[in-house]
A and B are shown apart, each in its own frame.
Chain A
Amino acid sequence: MTLKSKRKHNMFFTYLVIVLIGIILLYPIVWMFFATFKTNDEIFNSIKLLPKSFSFQNFIDGWNGSGKVTYATYFINTFLLVLPTVIFTIVSSCLVAYGFARFKFPGKNILFALLISTLMLPNAIIIVPRYTMFSKLGWINNYMPFYAPAILACYPFFVYMLIQFLRGIPRDLDESAYIDGCGTFRTLVSILLPLMKPALFSAALFQFLWTYNDYFNSLIFINSGSRYTISLALRLSLDSESVVNWGKLMAISFISVTPLFILFFAAQKYFVEGIATSGLKG
């Protein structure tokens, strides 16, 4: 075997492995997509990937839900919960990161150490007191338990990520802005914010993803059906019928992950760069 043909041989092997791993990873999702067109009978009794016919009945039935509330409501609820949470998180994290990255003040090291230590504070440990506190405030069944931590910068991951990003922006810019008569807030808004766009965008994407997928907190803080998010509604659909109509369930599950798909492919650069550079967990 010549060196060149050996190389070709190697390349072929490499791509074969890549494709095999790819199939294992993506087959469930492709299968899910085609299952949305299938009946229970087809899902269980046929190994074929493609459905017999492409009927949208599962989507229509699934969307209409079991009772008075349709998935339109659950989608609107989810976005009412997620979008403000994302915006609040970005604004508050940005302000706090600026405070840490650009000022010298007494106690800074201690406060920064506290911020870092909250990176490892598990949600499970604070959920019980948060629940009692929020229920005293009458916040159960509305989205304040999600907004409040976002408004008050309780997402140390993003604060830390933005601090790191700000440290990479030369301070000379701040100083020139100061000479030109900018106050600290204007320096942040007109000089630094435009430069922080990629980091802010990554943070927003991940906060969207995590809040959208979150189930534990929604389960605890929301218990009336009309305020349900998609996660809660899906779980309810799984349990509510004695014989599960899987095709229907796959159809709404698929619709529920579609926004994530769209977002991911529209902004994959920010996702992948965000993980690669800042060590965000996915």
Chain B
Amino acid sequence: MKAKTKVRTSAYRKRDYQAFLYLLPWLLGFSLLQLYPFVSSLYYSFTDYQITSEPVWAGLKNYISLFTTDTEFTNSLKVTITYTLYTVPGKLIMALAVAVFLNRNIKGINLIRTLYYIPSLFGGSVATAILWKLLFLDNGVINALLSALHLPNIQFWGNPKTALPTICALEIWQFGSSMVMFLAALKNVPADLYEAAAIDGAKPVQQFFKITIPQITPIIFFNLINQTITALQNFTSAFVITNGGPLKSTYVLGMKLYKEGFSYFKMGYASAISWVMFVIIMVVTLLLFRSSSMWVHYADE
């Protein structure tokens, strides 16, 4: 302790100005590549802006047409919200269920954890999207398996009712990374809590809802926010597998943004779409934060 007080002298602290040298890349990056684009896209969203000409102020025009005349957009909004409502809870419930199941003395747990993680490894890669498309084709292997089990075949990609859930399945299939996080959190739940509960006569189901879940709420909360932000921006699977079809049933907001911005180069309009997306993300995040005091339990509180 003596050395510490001796060292924290003005000479040592005088070097603090050097912090800005280390922060310099981020200060530039933050202002040029994050803050500036963030503010400009808000500005663009109120303009008519084709990439070849300068932006012209248009007021709320983009937003008004998005919500009144552009049925493609309102459909995209619906598709994206549905996608998020399927994938985020689906993935988290799978991850949690499997993590709880694996959280006991099992030989070879490391290998199991590794193997279950593999689908997450390829994540949103184009290769996986192509594989998924092939697996679920009308004459693909999943339908062949259904036939072998004497079950009726399903037109996974051809039917607007099934195309979106099949794309969601690709996302839920990658629950491994969340599962690894949950497993780590479960390992940190103090064992004496369970012992005390067992002495008090709590049943396993009660223990799960009264101890396990409350103890790992911070990591559930973190996952919930992250997965929601990712899901609302989904693009690759819908673009590669179905290209938004059939009948625009998988035409997510990410695709709409891409088409308007980078096929038609309507930069103002695309920016307005991205801001609607951002507002949804902000509202969801705020609601989650607001509600977090009710259900997220922090150990040090």
Contact = CB atoms under 8 A, between A and B. Distances in A.
Interface of A: 14, 17-18, 21-22, 25-26, 28-29, 31-32, 35, 43-45, 47, 92, 95-96, 98-100, 102-105, 108, 111, 114-115, 118, 120-133, 135, 148-149, 151-154, 159, 172, 175-176, 178-179, 183-184, 209, 212-213, 215-216, 219-220, 230-232, 234-235, 238, 246, 249-250, 253-254, 256-257, 260-261, 264, 268, 271-272, 275-277, 279-282
A-B complex: 8 closest residue pairs judged by Cβ atoms: A282-B177, A152-B29, A99-B22, A103-B19, A276-B184, A129-B37, A253-B127, A126-B37
A125 B21 CA distance: 29
B290 interface: no
Contact of B278 (A122, A135, A209): A122
A133 B31 CA distance: 13
B240 A238 contact: yes
B209 interface: no
A22 B115 contact: yes
A235 B119 contact: no
Interface string B240-252: 1000000000000
B74 to A, nearest CB: 18
Contact of A184 (B15, B37, B102, B121): B15
Nearest to B253: A124
Nearest to B36: A129
A22 B194 CA distance: 29
B112 A96 contact: no
Nearest to A118: B34
B7 A175 contact: yes
A151 B275 CA distance: 27
A275 B267 contact: no
B230 A103 contact: no
B287 to A, nearest CB: 14
A281 B240 CA distance: 22
Given A124-B277, A215-B235, A21 B116 contact: yes
Given A125-B275, A125-B277, A128-B270, A99 B184 contact: no
A213 B117 contact: no
B236 interface: yes
A contact patch SS: helix
B26 A29 contact: no
Interface in B266-281: 267, 270-271, 274-275, 277-278, 281
B16 A279 contact: no
Contact of B285 (A120, A151, A212): A120
Contacts of A234: 126-127, 130
B118 A264 contact: yes
Interface residues of B, number: 104
Contacts of B121: 209, 257, 260-261, 264, 282
B113 A129 contact: no
Given A123-B233, A154-B33, A31 B141 contact: yes
A126 B33 contact: yes
B22 A95 contact: yes
Nearest to B140: A44
B180 A272 contact: yes
Interface stretch (B59-67, B131-139, B153-161): B131-139
Given A28-B135, A124-B233, A132-B51, 12 more contacts: A95-B25, A102-B19, A103-B15, A120-B229, A129-B41, A131-B261, A154-B29, A175-B7, A176-B3, A215-B125, A250-B130, A276-B184
Given A47-B145, A99-B22, A272-B117, A125 B278 contact: yes
Contact of A29 (B30, B37, B119): B119
Interface in B34-68: 34, 36-38, 40-41, 44, 51
Given A26-B118, A96-B26, A125-B278, A253 B144 contact: no
Interface stretch (B81-89, B200-208, B218-226, B291-299): B218-226
The CB with the most chain A CB atoms within 10 A, among B20, B113, B181, is that of B181
Contacts of B139: 44-45
A242 to B, nearest CB: 16
6 contacts: A26-B115, A120-B225, A125-B278, A250-B134, A257-B122, A281-B178
Contacts of A99: 19-23, 26
Nearest to A92: B25
A120 B223 CA distance: 12
A107 B106 CA distance: 50
B87 to A, nearest CB: 13
